[in-house]
Copies of this chain bind each other. A is one copy, B any other.
């Protein structure tokens, strides 16, 4: 902790040494550190909130001057009702999760006296770069320790005072336990980030949590694997047999429940056959919630015939780039899918989504299980839902307890990433002088048993 003056190399190698010591601790020893973390943050609540108030005061002035988004200000404020307690509770929730380390996922008898095991283990050293929200430091510290990984944390400049206060408490709390103090290191200066991103022999995984710009910067500037999503361009397709009520409920929730979230709806594909049945009701409900609809010609034509003039003032012409845009706002791009297209339109919808979506979460509205199954196996996204809101794409909602972030990667971990995403495995063999050269076809060659053993 507080290694702001150290070079990236020494931060990373210190973390690497800590990671090795963490890897051999028991679940009880790791949990003990989480309890200490919880108690430390509970006991120092006043001091931490005082530090946070300084950040909030500074940010309020910046917001008044128009230099800071008001949503950043909101995310920064730890004194909002329930927020501090949620942070504390989160640490206990992580502590009480099943140990992700040391689980045997494969056990094979290779030959008499020669067994193979695949055992889950920590990844090693994580670099986590995040923006405003100060409670993330506590969540991430808890997740990292629970999974036996060392973490290097870099927070946003708006929350400097909060970070220093929280990290001092974390540091003190951990030092009374078997978890090495340098398992969690805080980096405050921005210029060290580029140097850390170059430490690909010591840092095993980078997790950027914040704006698309942050994620893209990280992906473009490191050889270390990056876990995260730059975009959440989620789409919905309304098939010709969709249920009206289900469509309205799901689409309004997907678009308006929290428009700034990565799992909010950005593109609506409507089968031509329901342009004058389902679309108008959906559009009226969305417009009533303040959504602007960017329509192609057929959908606009259908709405012009059914919406009143006040409602029509929320309908504008779509341009091609709207179908590649993550609005993160009360704006929805609408495109018509010809009913005469293959699969009565579902294939065209699949093609559009696989070409334009960011592989985050995409949904279909249909009464047909067969159509839904086809859509779900064809769409190449981390989440594919049938008659349910895109907003369900979330670690807490999935029942993971918490999440490190949502991944649109195609390898390792996809969708909401929980503790499992912070682990990997190693293969262990136990023998008694066994030689590989003894196993071969032919005279004198030993034969493999390859018997699955109970886990």
Contact B415 A427 (CB under 8 A): yes
Which of B124, B388, B394, B398 contacts A434 (CB under 8 A)? B388
Which residues of B have CB within 8 Å of A245?
433
Contact B386 A430 (CB under 8 A): yes
Closest CB in chain B relative to A226 CB, distance in Å = 9
Q: Which residue of B lies closest to A423 (CB)?
A: B411
Which residues of B have CB within 8 Å of A399?
108, 110, 116, 448, 450
Which residues of B have CB within 8 Å of A350?
20
Which residues of B have CB within 8 Å of A380?
19-20, 23, 124
Q: Is A385 an interface residue (CB 8 A)?
A: yes
- Tallying the copies of this chain within the complex gives 2
| Chain B CB within 10 Å, residue with most, of A380, A414, A415 | A380
Q: Is the interface of A mostly helix, strand, loop or mixed?
A: mixed
Q: Which residues A203-229 have CB closer than 8 A to chain B?
A: 204-205, 219-220, 223, 225, 227
Closest CB in chain B relative to A264 CB, distance in Å = 10
Which of A39-47, A152-160, A315-323, A371-379 has 4 or more CB atoms under 8 Å from chain B? Answer: A371-379
Which residues of B have CB within 8 Å of A219?
223
Produce 1/0 per residue, A148-186, CB < 8 A to B. Answer: 000000000000000000000000000000000000000
| Chain B CB within 10 Å, residue with most, of A19, A121, A372 | A121
Produce 1/0 per residue, A350-362, CB < 8 A to B. Answer: 1000100000000
Which residues of B have CB within 8 Å of A64?
none
Contact A114 B388 (CB under 8 A): yes
Given A124-B380, A382-B427, A433-B245, do A412 and B415 touch, yes or no (CB 8 Å)?
no
Q: Which residue of B lies closest to A108 (CB)?
A: B399
Which of A69-77, A325-333, A435-443 has 4 or more CB atoms under 8 Å from chain B? Answer: A435-443
Q: How many residues of A contact B (CB 8 A)?
A: 77
Which residues of B have CB within 8 Å of A450?
399
Measured between alpha carbons, how far is A414 from B425 in the docked complex, in Å?
7
Closest CB in chain B relative to A441 CB, distance in Å = 9
Closest CB in chain B relative to A203 CB, distance in Å = 10
Which of B227, B372, B392, B437 contacts A257 (CB under 8 A)? B437
Name A's B-contacting residues (CB within 8 A). Answer: 19-20, 23-24, 102, 108, 110, 114, 116, 121, 123-124, 204-205, 219-220, 223, 225, 227, 243, 245-246, 249-250, 252-253, 257, 350, 354, 372, 374, 376-378, 380-389, 391-394, 397-399, 409-416, 424-439, 448, 450
Contact A225 B223 (CB under 8 A): no
Can you sample 14 A-B contacts with CB below 8 Å? A19-B380, A24-B377, A108-B398, A116-B392, A116-B399, A250-B434, A372-B430, A385-B429, A388-B431, A388-B432, A392-B434, A411-B424, A412-B412, A414-B426
Given A110-B397, A436-B397, A439-B397, do A386 and B257 touch, yes or no (CB 8 Å)?
no
Which residues of B have CB within 8 Å of A123?
410-411
Contact A388 B430 (CB under 8 A): yes
Which residues of B have CB within 8 Å of A414?
424-427
Contact B249 A433 (CB under 8 A): yes
Measured between alpha carbons, how far is A377 from B334 in the docked complex, in Å?
54
